[in-house]
Chain A
Amino acid sequence: MDNTIFGFAYLLSAVLFILALKGLSSPVSARKGNTYGMIGMTIAVVTTLMLHGSGLDISSYTNIIIAVAIGGIFGSILALKISMTALPQLVAAFHSLVGLAAVFVAIGAYKNPGAFFEGGIISTGSMIEMSLGLAIGAITFSGSVIAFAKLQGLVSGNPLVFKGQHLINLIIFLAILTLIYLISMNPMNPENSQYFWMIVGLSFFIGFLVVLPIGGADMPVVVSMLNSYSGWAACGIGFTLQNTALIITGALVGSSGAILSYIMCKGMNRSIVSVLLGGFGGDSDAAAAVAGGPKGNVKQGSADDASFIMGNAQKVIIVPGYGMAVSQAQHALREMCDILKEKGVEVKYAIHPVAGRMPGHMNVLLAEANVPYDEVFELEEINHEFATADVAFVIGANDVTNPLAKTDPQSPIYGMPILDVEKAATTLFLKRSMASGYAGVDNDLFFRDKTMMLLGDAKQTTEEIVQSLNLS
C-alpha cells in the first residue's frame, strides 16, 4: 500500500489530539475532546501496526497484545481507584512512565537500527535527536519518581539542599552534552555504545538531583515542568522515527507543560529559575513548631459562632487550600454551603492558582463534592468581590491570603498575588494550628479583630458547623 495514506493517518491522529486539548477550553466540550484523544491514539496505534507489521502473521502480535492488555488493565485500575486527593502523585507516576518508555524506545532503536533507520545506518543527526530524547526521557523518569515520592510522603517534602549542588548539576549536565556529541560523531561505532549507557545513567542521576532540592509547596511547578519534559522527550523520539504524529504531540505537550509552569510560577511570583534552584518551601506542618511565638491577641471561635455569623450573612466566599484536600473536607464543605444557600446566603468559591499540589487540583476536589463549576471562580474573577462579602471562609489555606505579600518587601512571599480575604467583613480561618504556612511566614491576618480562628481538623470543624446550622 502507498505510504502516503499512513502519513495522512498520523496527521489525522495529531489533529484529533489538538482537538482533545481544544475541548478543555470549557467543561461542556471537554468530554467530547477526551473522546477525540482516544480515537487519535487508536488511529496512531493501528496505523503503526499496519505500516510496520505488514506481512506478519497474527501470532507475532501476541506479545504486543499481552503487553497492551497488562498495561491497560493496570492503568485502568489505577485511574478508577485513585482518590482525587492523590491525583498529583498519580500524574507524577504517569509522567515517569512516559519518560521511561522514551528510554526503552531509544534503546530499542539503538540496538536494532535496521528496523528504525533507512539502510540500518544511524546518521549523526538521528543520533543527536535520539540521545536528546533518551536524556530528557531519563530525566523525566527519575525526576518524576522523586516528585511522586515527595507527594506520596515517601520522602520528606522538605527541600534537600547540600553544598556545591548547583555546581555538580552543571558538571553532570555538561558531561551529558559532551557524551551526546561524542556518540553522535560516530554513531555506528560499537565502541561508542558505552557513551550511550553513560548518557542513560547520568540523565537518571541528574533527574534525581534536580527535583530533590525542590520543596513540597513548589510541586505544582515541578509536576507541570515534568509534564513539559515528557513532551520534549516524545518529540526527540519523534524526530528519530521521522514520525509527524509523535513530533506534533510532543510539541503540544511540551508547550502545554511549559505554559502551566509559567502560570504556576506567576501565581507565586517566583521565577522558574528560583524554583529549579530549590530550597524553598517544605511541608507546612514541619515548620509549625519553630514559627515563633504569638504576635498579639487571637480571637478563637467555635463552630456555633461560625454558623451564627454565616447564617446571618448575605454573601460568603469560600477559599479552599491544600489543608482541605488533606482532611478530605470538601464533601462536608459542600453540605455546609447547601444549607447556607437554602437560607438565602450567596455562596461562591475562590481558587488561588497555586492552591493544592497540582494545577487545578482544588477545582477537581470541589467538582468531586458536586460543587457546580459555575460557583467556582479564579483569583482575577473574584478578588474584587471580597470587599462586598460578609464572610471569607478560609479552609486549609494560609499563604495565599497573607496581606504581607502586598506590604512587606522583605517577605519571601512579597509580590505573590493573594486573595483579598481581609477585605471581607469577617474572615474565618479553619486551620489545624497557628503554624505559619509553607513559606515560613506568619500571617498577621490571624491577629486582626475581624478574624476568627477555628482551630482543629477542617473536616471535623466543618461537620460541626453543619450540625449547628441544622439546629438553628
Chain B
Amino acid sequence: MDFLSLFTIFVLAVFVGFYVVWGVTPALHSPLLAVTNAISSVIIVGGLIAAVASKGIIDLSSTMGLIAVLLASVNIFGGFMVAQRMLAMFKKKK
C-alpha cells in the first residue's frame, strides 16, 4: 500500500480515537489505560513476522522477534485481564 493511503487511514483513525475516547466515562479511565495497553500490544504482529521469517532457525532477527512476542504477550494477557478484573468490580446500586 502506498504511503498516502496508509497516512489517510492513520489520520482518520486519530479522529475515531479522539471521539471514541472523549465518550469514555471518567470513572473508567483506569480500565481505559489497561485496555489501550493491551491493544497497543498488537505490535506482537511485528515480532511474529520476525520470528517466523527465519523458518525455525535462531538468528539475531528472529531472537529479537521472539523477545518482542514474549514482551507483548505479557502485556496482552496482563492488560486484558487486569481490565477485566477492574471492570468486574464496577457494580450498580442494589
Q: Which residues does A use to contact B, with CB under 8 Å? A: 13-14, 17-18, 20-22, 24-27, 30-31, 33-34, 37-38, 40-41, 44-45, 48-49, 52-53, 56, 59-60, 62-64, 67-76, 78-80, 82, 84, 87, 90-91, 94-95, 97-98, 100-102, 104-105, 107-109, 111-112, 114-116, 125, 223-224, 227, 230-231, 233-235, 237, 239-257, 259-260, 263, 351, 353, 358-361, 363-364, 367-368, 370, 372-376, 378
Known: A34-B87, A60-B55, A78-B78. A241 touches B49 (CB 8 A): yes
Q: Which A residues touch B53, using CB under 8 A? A: 52, 112, 114-116
Extra pairs beyond A41-B39, A105-B47 (11, CB < 8 Å): A56-B55, A79-B85, A111-B61, A116-B49, A230-B40, A242-B6, A252-B20, A254-B17, A359-B32, A374-B93, A378-B27
**Among A33, A40, A104, A360, residue most surrounded by chain B Cβ atoms (within 10 Å):** A104
Q: Which B residues touch A100, using CB under 8 A? A: 71
Dominant secondary structure of chain B at its interface with chain A: helix
CB distance from B33 to the nearest CB of A (A): 5
Interface size class of B (residues with CB under 8 A): 35 or more
Dominant secondary structure of chain A at its interface with chain B: helix
**Among A34, A48, A109, A233, residue most surrounded by chain B Cβ atoms (within 10 Å):** A34
Q: Which A residues touch B23, using CB under 8 A? A: 22, 25
List the A residue with the shortest CB-CB distance to B84: A34
Are the CB atoms of A13 and B42 closer together than 8 Å? yes
Q: Which A residues touch B43, using CB under 8 A? A: 98, 101-102, 105, 233-234, 237, 246
Q: Which B residues touch A14, using CB under 8 A? A: 13
Within 28-64 of B, Cβ neighbours of A (below 8 Å) are at 28-56, 58-62, 64
Q: Which A residues touch B69, using CB under 8 A? A: 64, 67-68, 71
Known: A373-B92, A374-B93. A59 touches B56 (CB 8 A): yes
Are the CB atoms of B71 and A104 closer together than 8 Å? yes
CB distance from A177 to the nearest CB of B (A): 20
List the A residue with the shortest CB-CB distance to B61: A112
Known: A94-B79, A98-B40. A367 touches B86 (CB 8 A): yes
Q: Which B residues touch A372, using CB under 8 A? A: 91-94
Known: A48-B45, A367-B86. A75 touches B78 (CB 8 A): yes
Are the CB atoms of A242 and B31 closer together than 8 Å? no
How many pairs, one residue from A and one from B, have CB atoms within 8 Å of each other in the complex?
381
Can you report 18 residue pairs joining A to B where beta carbons are below 8 Å apart?
A: A18-B16, A21-B21, A24-B32, A41-B42, A62-B56, A67-B51, A72-B74, A72-B77, A75-B79, A79-B77, A102-B68, A111-B59, A223-B33, A244-B9, A248-B13, A251-B14, A251-B17, A363-B90
CB distance from B63 to the nearest CB of A (A): 8
CB distance from B57 to the nearest CB of A (A): 9
Q: Which of these, A13, A38, A64, contacts B66 with CB under 8 Å?
A: A64
Q: Which B residues touch A84, using CB under 8 A? A: 86
Known: A41-B76, A80-B85, A112-B59. A374 touches B44 (CB 8 A): no
Are the CB atoms of A91 and B33 closer together than 8 Å? yes
Q: How far is the CA of A450 from the CA of B54 in the complex (A)?
A: 73
CB distance from A93 to the nearest CB of B (A): 9
Are the CB atoms of B37 and A91 closer together than 8 Å? yes
